[in-house]
Structure formats: structure tokens, C-alpha cells
Amino acid sequence: MQIIPLPAFRDNYIWLLRDDRHAVVVDPGDAAPVLDYLEAEGLSLSAVLITHFHPDHTAGVGALLARHPAPVYGPRQEAIAGVSHPVGEGDEILCEGLGLRLQVLDVPGHTLGHVAYYAPGLLFCGDTLFGAGCGRVLGSTPQALYASLQRIAALPGDTQVYCTHEYTLANLAFAAAVEPGNAAVAKRVAACEAQRAAQVATVPFPLAGEFETNPFLRADQPQVRARAEQEAGTSLGAAEAVFTVLRDWKNRF
């Protein structure tokens, strides 16, 4: 099985999982790049996976189904046109043709009903976790997003994270502001700059690297707490409070 990034809009990735005959797509906000790829490669669409309701993740579903009827899986707690199989925590999806079984995880925070799709070694997490960052809180709470990120952080470190935006360098700029002395952040900036200069995606990335460079997964670190307290102008309690300050600061960064 191969996993192909199909660029869309300004900085989205539509993920296409394929073998020689079948394909599954994740968060097709635009049908055109998917249709072009399926036609060029002679592939049959087996399924569509949706992580949340935002149009840049869903707007291509109708045009895809018009040409390639297929089951569409999406979060049970969100009303999304075209979803034929609402899913939530504990559900499993067997991707016909690919022989891939995915576990559905509820990861609210970016939106109220956001889900992710996990199999050993890979995670499709939509807009919950980004390279060196995380999603904005839109319709949910910082506490919910923090809990979802902690849940993702408990997955094996070698999990490859397939998020849906090329935000890594922008997020690393914020990470450097939070921890200007973090050598791992500086090293990742250089590596990602080289990737982008070569027009290579910075996604996917291994989860383990986030614990060294992603401030939203480092809210329990003393230096991150100190910088968040400086920004907030007050002492902070649990790591969740540090995270909340960081998320608000990032919104204004």
C-alpha cells in the first residue's frame, strides 16, 4: 500500500491510500485532484474518510461520488452531506481492497465531533495535531483539544502522523518563540526548510519528534510553563492551563 499526498488549495493535503487497483481518500476538500489521479492511475475508489465538517475537508465529496460511488465515513456527531456511514469512538473500518483496518478515535477540540483514523504505524488526524502545532478551537473547548492531544500522544512514537495542512514551518516559528533555546526546534526548522525548498511535504512526520519540538505537547515542561506564565502575566496550574495560554497566544502570533 502507498499513501500519496494530493495538494489542494493553498496548503491542504488530501491523502490517497492505494494499491494497484483500489484507492481510499481522506478529507477530499476538492474533487479535481482526486479525480485526475484516479483516472490517470486507473484506480477504483473504495471509500472516503472524513475527519470533520469544514468545507476544505468535505467540499469534494459530492463530485467524487457522482463519478465513483463509494461508502463515505464521517463523524457521527457532525452533519456532513454525503456521509453514508456515521462513525465514532470504538468503530472499525475495513478498507475493502486494501485490506486495511482502521480504528476510529474521537478527538474533539478543533471541532466538537472531530474524529481520527488509526492503524498501527499511521494516523489520519485531520486538523487536531499538526507538525509542531495543533488546530484552533472552533466550536469546542481548549480542554477538549488538550485531552485529544494527550490521547494521540499516548500512541506509539513511531506512528506516522498524516495531518491535512502544510503548516509545519509556521508552527515551528511559534515553537521557537516559546523555546528560543530548543536545539531540536532549530534542527527541525533547517530540515523542513530544506524539504520545502525541494518541494517535498513536511508531512507525514513521526509522532516521537513532536515531544521534542511541539509546544502543545510540551506543556508539562518547566521552560514551556515559564514562558506561558510570562505571556499570561500570572502563575499557571496544571499543564492544561499552560496549553490554554499557548493556544490563545498562537492565535495572536
Q: Could you give the CA distance from residue 225 to residue 216 in angstroms, rounded to a whole number?
A: 11
Using alpha carbons only, what angle is made at residue 45 by residues 39 and 49, rounded to the nearest 5 degrees?
A: 125
Q: Residue 68 catalytic?
A: no
Work out the burial of residue 221: count CB atoms within 10 Å of its CB; fewer than 13 is exposed, 13-18 middle, 19 or more buried.
middle
Q: Report the alpha-carbon distance of residue 157 to residue 166 in Å, rounded.
A: 21
Q: Catalytic: 110?
A: yes
22, 68, 110, 114: the active-site residue: 110
127: annotated active-site residue: yes
CB burial class (10 A; 0-12, 13-18, 19+) of residue 198?
exposed
Catalytic residue among 56, 68, 106, 114: 56
Please say if 91 is a catalytic residue. no
Three-state SS for 115? Answer: strand
Contact 129, 161 (CB under 8 A): yes
Instruction: Catalytic residue, from 22, 52, 68, 114: name it.
Output: 52
Sheet holding 115-119, edge to edge: 92-95, 100-106, 115-119, 122-126, 160-163, 205-206
Query: Catalytic pick from 27, 30, 54, 106?
Result: 54
**Residue 52 annotated to the active site:** yes
Tell me phi and psi for residue 190, to 5 degrees.
Answer: -60, -45
Catalytic residue among 22, 68, 114, 165: 165
Structural contact between residues 14 and 28, judged by C-beta atoms closer than 8 angstroms = yes
Catalytic residue chosen out of the listed positions 57, 68, 106, 114: 57
Catalytic residue numbers read 52, 54, 56-57, 110, 127, 165
